[in-house]
Amino acid sequence: MKAVGSYKALAANETDAFIDQEIDTPVATGRNILVAVKAVSVNPVDTKVRKRPHPDETWRVLGWDASGVVTAVGDDVSGFSVGDEVYYAGCITKPGSNSEYQLVDERIAAKKPSSLGFAESAALPLTTITAWEGLFDRLGVSKTGQDAGKTILMIGAAGGVGSIAIQLAKKLANLTIIATASRPESSDWCKARGADHVINHYEDISAQLEAIGCANVDYVFCLTNIAGYWKTITDVIKPMGKICTIVDFFEDSNLDLLKLKSATFVFEFMFSRSMHQTSDMGEVGKLLADTAGLIDNGDLITTVSNIVSPINADNMRAVHTAIEEGNAIGKSVLEGWS
């Protein structure tokens, strides 16, 4: 089968950062389904893993967002059949989706939204799992409206995660959403997805919150540079408020700043369930199935903003380069094999 991978950790624009290569097609066993990959999305995690050294220059396939068609199932698979159209993020400890066929555990996959094509579906899984778990499991926001009207500050909201987090926080929870974006086009994107207010993360966040009448917020969902925003976040969070981030601190930050407000801080890592094979890892497949239903009902829309074809080394280099610039709006997807 065709695959796009590499033997070395290189800058995205270097020729060997991605190579088109023929490799063996894997065989479905146990609870794995074998998927003929039709489209893949690229996330910042791909760029981070790309830069990690390869022990002994081993071949590595990146990609943790895909849609495709089931072509074989392992003996223990009960939820899928050959021919099902699926979408999934997969597991960070397993070979990625940038290959013509990929094995994925059935518990972390779901049937794709029937109203969307493969490219529009591939944009969604990784960021949706992150946003759903961050909002509903880590921050504990009610999915059935019990927290309606509470305020959430989403920092870095026009990117892949924010693009679906805004929609989930509005459609399922009816929160009042204050998104941050720094450009007219990223600001408009957030508003179009349901943000009630958009403020600029490069200006004084506290002053802007005060100006819109939300000096303090119930929740903060920080999607970028948590260390840089930590002091502001601890200033604006309400007593007993909750803060979730999906990114590393990279430097010491003072957790004591939360004590006088009895505020909660929590990390979200969307691969935790799959990499630790937790007993509840099937919740990942369920939330993707629920999301597909919400999309088919018209409650949520895809977050795709850019589709390139085919899936090959040249296009992968270009998309990685663009993502590393840090100003993505929505999601970039690669579709089809040449």
Ligand X SMILES: NC(=O)c1ccc[n+]([C@@H]2O[C@H](COP(=O)([O-])OP(=O)(O)OC[C@H]3O[C@@H](n4cnc5c(N)ncnc54)[C@H](OP(=O)(O)O)[C@@H]3O)[C@@H](O)[C@H]2O)c1
Question: Contact with ligand X (CB under 6 A): which of 182, 208, 216, 305?
Answer: 182
Would you say 68 or 159 has its CB closer to ligand X? 159
Q: What CA–CA distances, in Å, run from 322 to 12, 123, 137, 185?
A: 9, 16, 31, 16
Regarding 208 and contact with ligand X (CB under 6 A), the answer is: no
Regarding 224 and contact with ligand X (CB under 6 A), the answer is: yes
Q: Which stretch binds ligand X (CB under 6 A): 42-50, 51-59, 88-96, 171-179?
A: 42-50
Would you say 76 or 185 has its CB closer to ligand X? 185
Regarding 276 and contact with ligand X (CB under 6 A), the answer is: no
Regarding 328 and contact with ligand X (CB under 6 A), the answer is: yes
Regarding 222 and contact with ligand X (CB under 6 A), the answer is: no
Would you say 226 or 294 has its CB closer to ligand X? 226
Q: Which stretch binds ligand X (CB under 6 A): 169-177, 223-231, 274-282, 293-301?
A: 223-231
- Adjacent-strand bridge partners of 151: 176
**Shortest CB 182 distance to ligand X, Å:** 3
Q: Which of residues 97-156 bind ligand X (CB under 6 A)?
A: 127, 130, 155-156
Would you say 32 or 130 has its CB closer to ligand X? 130
Contact track, ligand X, 233-252, x by CB under 6 A? -------------xx-----
Question: Contact with ligand X (CB under 6 A): which of 63, 159, 241, 285?
Answer: 159
Regarding 183 and contact with ligand X (CB under 6 A), the answer is: yes
**Shortest CB 25 distance to ligand X, Å:** 29
Question: Contact with ligand X (CB under 6 A): which of 6, 32, 41, 43?
Answer: 43
Report the length, in residues, of the chain: 338
Would you say 7 or 269 has its CB closer to ligand X? 269
CA 27, chain centre distance (Å): 27
Cα separation, 175 vs 146, in Å, equals: 10
Q: Which stretch binds ligand X (CB under 6 A): 62-70, 115-123, 204-212, 325-333?
A: 325-333
Regarding 285 and contact with ligand X (CB under 6 A), the answer is: no
Cα separation, 115 vs 319, in Å, equals: 26
Tokens of 310: 């085919």
3-state SS of the chain is CEEEEECCCCCCCCHHHCEEEECCCCCCCCCEEEEEEEEEECCHHHHHHHCCCCHHHCCECCCCCEEEEEEEECCCCCCCCCCCEEEECCCCCCCCCCECEEEEEHHHEEECCCCCCHHHHHCCHHHHHHHHHHHHHHCCCCCCCCCCCCEEEEECCCCHHHHHHHHHHHHCCCCEEEEECCCHHHHHHHHHCCCCEEECCCCCHHHHHHHCCCCCEEEEEECCCHHHHHHHHHHHEEEEEEEEECCCCCCCCCHHHHHHHCCEEEECCCCHHHHCCCCCCHHHHHHHHHHHHHHHCCCCCCCEEEEECCCCHHHHHHHHHHHHCCCCCCEEEEECCC
Regarding 201 and contact with ligand X (CB under 6 A), the answer is: yes
Q: Which stretch binds ligand X (CB under 6 A): 27-35, 176-184, 208-216, 295-303?
A: 176-184
Q: Which stretch binds ligand X (CB under 6 A): 90-98, 285-293, 302-310, 324-332?
A: 324-332
In the complex, the residues that contact ligand X under the rule CB under 6 A are: 43-45, 127, 130, 155-156, 158-162, 180-183, 186, 201, 223-225, 246-247, 268-270, 323, 326-329
